[in-house]
């Protein structure tokens, strides 16, 4: 068994695709419209779905935003250098909501960025 994907509902698919592909460096792996049911699925990730877990972006055409609730945590992405990655994300127009630095009470270096819908993405030194 393995994790296949994590699904996020997004209000503006183009903004979300820009964030995950242009700012976070993922690839758009596949995208499919379902006009009869008024939604689109787009899958993004760092590798092929047969080898890695990916993110499914679900865009319901009639909904522009969602209440994220208080149960959702974050997606975690391993990076070589959290400080440099934050600089690249900011230079590309992304939002860093927790600057790179050691985890409270530990040595692990991390940062948090936020996607256009407010979902948090944790960056961890890998």
In the DSSP assignment, the letter for residue 103 is: P
Residue 100 near residue 1, CB atoms below 8 Å: no
- Residue ranges in 22-124 assigned as alpha helix (H): 82-91
Clarify whether 99 is annotated catalytic. no
Strand ranges (E), 38-92:
39-45, 54-60, 75-79
Q: Which of 49, 114, 122, 125 is catalytic?
A: 122
Active-site annotation, residues: 122
């Amino acid at each position: 068994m393995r994790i296949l994907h994590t699904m996020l509902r997004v209000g503006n698919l183009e903004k979300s695709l820009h964030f995950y592909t242009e700012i976070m460096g993922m690839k758009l792996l596949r995208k499919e419209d379902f006009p009869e049911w008024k939604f689109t699925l787009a899958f993004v990730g760092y590798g092929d779905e047969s080898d890695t877990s990916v993110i499914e972006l679900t865009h319901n055409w009639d909904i522009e935003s969602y209440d994220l609730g208080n149960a959702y945590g974050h997606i975690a992405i391993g990076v070589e250098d959290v400080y440099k990655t934050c600089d690249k994300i900011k230079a590309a127009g992304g939002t860093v909501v927790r600057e790179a630095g050691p985890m409270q009470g530990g040595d692990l270096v991390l940062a948090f960025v936020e996607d256009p819908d407010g979902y948090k993405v944790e960056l961890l030194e890998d």
